[in-house]
Structure formats: C-alpha cells, structure tokens
Amino acid sequence: MPQLKTAFLLFSLLLLVSAAQAHNITRILAGHPSFSTFNHYLSVTHLADEINRKTTITVCAIDNAGMSELLSKHPSITTVKNVLSLHILLDYFGAKKLHQITNGTALAATMFQATGSAPGSSGFVNITDLKGGKVGFGAKDNGGKLDALFVKSVLSSDVAEAPAPGPAELNLTGIMSAHGCKQFADALLANADASKTYQDAAIGGLTVFCPLDDPFKAFLPKFKNLSAADKTSFLEFLGVPVYQSLSMLKSNNGLLNTLATDGGKKFDLTVQDEGEEVTLKTKVNSVKITGTLIDEQPVAMYTTDKVLMPKELFKAAPTPAPAPAPEKAADAPKPHKHKKAAPSPKSDSSDAPADSPDDDPADQTADDNAGVKVGTARFLAVGLSFCLGFLLL
C-alpha cells in the first residue's frame, strides 16, 4: 500500500501529522468535537467513503459554527454534498508545498469539480501565497476573495509532542544581537510590522538569513533610502515561512518564497549548494551562509557574509558582456615576384614595377573591459490532507 498523506486545516492553525497507514476520515474527526456536524454530514452524504478511498487528498473541514450557518438556509442534502465536496481538494497540500507555490498562486481541483456538477471551473479552489508567510484559500468564482488563511504548520509525533518551550517564547532579536547580527536585529525591532510577522511565523516555521554587523552597517545607507513599506518588505525578505535545517537547504536547491512574497510580488531567492557551502542568490547579488545562530525546529537562523538584496527593491547587477575574441592579424600578402614586362612594340623594353605589399597590419588585442493571506487552522497529515475550519461559499 502506498504511503498516505493526510492533513487537517482547522481555521488559521495548521497542524500537520504524517502516517503510513489507511485512513478513516470519520474516525479521525471524531477526536475533534468542534467538527462533529461536518463529520456527521460526511457520512450522510457518503463523502466519507469517497475520501477514504483516496490516497492523496486534502479535506478542508468546516467547524460547527460554519455548518450551522450553512444549515440555517435549509439546503437539500444534494446542495450540502456539493458544498462539502468543494472543500475536498484532489491533491495533497503540506506546509512546504503551500508556501512554495510556483508564481505565488495555484488552482486546485476539488471533488465537486470531479462530479461534473460544477459549471465551468467553479469546482476549483484558488490557493495564494500572501505577505507575511500566510496562505489564502478561496473558491475560484468568488471574485478573487480568499475566505480562509493558513498561518501555522507543525509536524506532530510522539517525540515532537513531548513538553518543550513554545516558539513564541523565543527572543528572536535577542538571539541575533548576541551572535553578531545586532544591526539587523535593531532594524527589525524598529519595524513593528516586520517584527510581528517574524514572531507570528516562528509559531509554524521560520528560517532567517541574518547579515553580520559589518556588512549590514555598510548596507545601511541603501536601507535608509527605502520607503517605510519597502523597509518592511526588505526585512521580511530575509525570512522564509518554513523551517529549513542546513542539511535541508543543501539537499533542496532552488527557489524559496519568503515572508515578503505576496502573490505575483515574488520576493524569492535561490538556494544553491556549493560543496560544503550554501549560497543564496537573487538577480542582484549572492551571499554565503557563514554560521548557525539557532537550529531548533520550528526555527532556524543563519548568518550571512553579505546582505542579500531582492530584485524588487534594488537594481539587478549588470550582466557582464562577453569579451570579444581576439582577431587574428591578417596574413601579410606575399610579395609578388618581379617579372619582366613583355617589350612594347613601340617602346624600349623595361621592367614593370611589381605591386608593393601593403604596410604590415597592427596587432589587434581583445578588449579587457566587461560591464555587470475563515478562522483558526490545523493541518493533520496521514497521507491525505484535511483542512478543518473554513467554509468556502
């Protein structure tokens, strides 16, 4: 049996749990009494049986308050089934996948679309990465409104559930200041919006790339020239809304969305493993990770040798033009042999002058210069994925 992937979204708190075993949606939801009405109607509409047959699925469960609102309209059982099936995505969406959506937004097909009862593309759900590490969900045909937000992801296991300090207890800027990143920490403390974004993200997963003090001091003139909104975006750009250990960074090369990513406003960066080093790149510049401040899931913070700059705020470095290949000096023409001209019948015979070779061409050398995011959410995963807590109407 293939490994199953399951996730539950309980409003804005997302809790992710994985297991390689068959799933039973009604049994799983029985442990969450605030979703008892939703669970009941999954059985009444026979959607539970369809869910249990799937090995890759995401269920966005509606809490009792949301179900009461739906049932207050006295819908037929068929209508109830259609609404609930709109909350069942035919793909698995874990935390990492949600935060790294290509181009910042994606459409997911639902069980409602698969029934053939959905007119046009109304059976699709829009998933969009939002600023601050949030992820928004909304029906495709509701004018772009995102009705629910994913804001937290936590992996759960017997070990992980053992008592431990909560991430909210971490003094992020204190850790930065004590380990050579005081300048960046001070800039973050001075920006209430960015500081709150970091602290909120730390609950579900956060990776920070902190510039060391000397390079950040040198960067300060550019930072001070940014508008208030751009300063916030820049600070958020240096945070990634998922936990990434150093080994994960080395094995997962490629693009990463950041806390500043907002749909089409990419604010992304590229991770590249170069032997024992990890390099971070944008179209503006590249930096190297030089040390680890903290690596305790769900938070990891690393130091960098320079300040990584997003192309959305700074000019891209010019691409160096290739130097022209050196031109070969033209071969000097061989001198013609002097030949005696045939005697003119009307004149005395004489030697005609030979064509003289052109002057030797000057050697030419190559130019050396080259220019350069309704409610709280919980995600439980057992191979299928359930989103508990919002109603897409």
Predicted confidence (pLDDT) per residue in 272-325, tens digit: 988 789 999 999 999 999 999 999 888 999 999 999 999 999 987 666 666 666
Least confident of 28-42, 78-92, 116-130, 378-392: 378-392
Question: In 10 A of CB 375, how many CB atoms?
Answer: 19
d(CA 155, CA 160): 7
Among candidate residues 59, 57, 68, the one with its CA nearest the CA of residue 34:
68
pLDDT score for 333: 55
Q: What is the mean pLDDT of residues 79-93?
A: 86
The pLDDT tens digits for 92-109 are 776 677 767 777 778 888
Q: How far is CA 38 from CA 45, 81, 122, 353, in A?
A: 11, 11, 22, 108
Q: Under DSSP, is residue 346 helix (H, G, I), strand (E, B) or coil?
A: coil
Asked if residue 381 lies in contact with residue 5, where contact means CB atoms within 8 angstroms, the answer is yes
Residue 166 phi/psi, 5-degree rounding, is -70, 150
Phi–psi pair at 298, nearest 5 degrees: -100, 20
pLDDT of residue 159: 33
Q: Give the residue-averaged pLDDT of 17-24.
A: 48
Question: What is the DSSP-derived secondary structure letter of residue 259?
Answer: T
Mean pLDDT in residue range 59-84: 88
Position 220 confidence tier, pLDDT thresholds 50, 70, 90: very high
Q: Please tell me whether residue 154 adopts helix, strand or coil conformation.
A: coil
Weakest mean pLDDT among 37-41, 199-203, 332-336? 332-336
Task: Work out the mean pLDDT of the chain and round it to a whole number.
Answer: 75
pTM here is 0.53
What is the percent of the chain where pLDDT is above 70? 65
Higher pLDDT, 84 or 342: 84
Q: What's the one-letter identity of residue 108?
A: A
Q: Go through 220-235 and write b for each residue having 16 or more CB atoms within 10 A of its CB, e for each that does not.
A: eeebeeeeeebbbbbb
Residue 211: what pLDDT?
97
pLDDT at position 323, please?
65
Residue tagged 């772009």 (tokens): 144
11: part of which helix (H) or strand (E)?
none
Q: What would the pLDDT profile of 136-182 be if each residue is shown by its tens digit?
A: 777 777 666 776 666 443 333 333 334 444 444 689 999 999 999 99
Which tens digit of pLDDT belongs to each residue from 226-267?
999 999 999 999 999 888 998 889 888 899 989 998 877 789
Which residues, 6+ apart, have CB-to-CB distance to 207 below 8 Å? Answer: 239, 240, 242, 243, 244, 299, 300, 301, 302
pLDDT given at position 284 = 96
